[in-house]
Amino acid sequence: MEKYKVLYISQEITPYCEETTSSLLWRHLPQKIQENGSQIRTFMPRYGIINERRNQLHEVIRLSGMNIIINDTDNPLIIKVASIPLARMQVYFIDNEDYFDGKGILADENGNPYPDNLERALFFTKGILETIKKLRWTPDIIHCSGWITHLLPLYIRQVYNDDPYFANSKIIYGLQNDYFDINTENDMIHELSSDKIPDSILKTIGTPNYLNTTKLALNFSDAVSFSEQLDNKDVVKLVDDLKLPKLDYVDIEEEDYAKAYDEFYEKILAEEFSNAN
């Protein structure tokens, strides 16, 4: 019997990215949750490092063709999909050659953060939400992980809050060790204000550094999970201060790791956690 619908939005998934603690989790967890009776959809960016021929990516014509406005410019949205062998699981890819043609995730091959990371995150956010609407699929839980997903909770709660596809979804923000120095020359405030984000929220961002943008994501999430054991003590303290319901790091080598997530989802949906914010 189908239990609930989970939308997984991940910064990295193996085998499409290098194997890390997080990329392995987001490869295997959706499969386990699906095998346990829930319906899932999984999304990630189509980075330039991904070999499309080897991984058999192909464009989903019926979902592509939209334009996403960033900096008053129309940017074409292309949706691709691939199947993970033996997993009975598909991964959708958000693609745009201007934003995701580089060989890295948040930084180039020399370790320099992409100067347009904030724009990339915004394009990724809008692209996913518009694609879900086009799929006509209503998730009960939206579990997003990685910095590139940090604008999703804000947009779901402030821009798409009246949209029936997302109005009742619970949002879980997954934290991982992906700290980088953000180029604050990006006009993030202008972009958000053009999408009718209230001034009261914009003022709380301050300098759009890593900690502040992570806090922004957590402020609009219903719960938080740890995709790996965090090295950044400031982020750990932030989670403790916000008193969000949380799922601590669970090693996927543990036999019942998927059960821990399954039970956490059920508690979030049942609103068994007290709202301590």
Is residue 277 in a domain?
no
- The domain in which residue 105 lies consists of 5-270
Is residue 253 in a domain?
yes
- 74: Cβ contacts below 8 Å, ≥ 6 apart: 67, 68
Is residue 275 in a domain?
no
Is residue 211 in a domain?
yes
Is residue 153 in a domain?
yes
Is residue 137 in a domain?
yes
What are 219's two structure tokens? 């402020």
Helix (H) / strand (E) element for 147: namely: none
Q: pLDDT (tens digit, 9 = 90+) per residue, 132-186?
A: 999 999 999 999 999 999 999 999 999 999 999 999 999 999 999 999 988 655 5
Q: Give the CATH number for residue 149.
A: 3.40.50.2000
Residue 192: which pLDDT band, with cuts at 50, 70 and 90?
A: confident
- 203: Cβ contacts below 8 Å, ≥ 6 apart: none
Beta bridge partners of 68: 75
Q: pLDDT (tens digit, 9 = 90+) per residue, 14-32?
A: 999 999 999 999 999 999 9
Percent of the chain with pLDDT over 70: 95
Task: Report whether 91 contacts 26 (CB < 8 A).
Answer: no
Q: pLDDT (tens digit, 9 = 90+) per residue, 63-111?
A: 998 999 988 889 999 999 999 978 889 999 999 999 999 889 999 888 8
Is residue 57 in a domain?
yes
* Total tally of structural domains belonging to the chain: 1
pTM of the model: 0.94
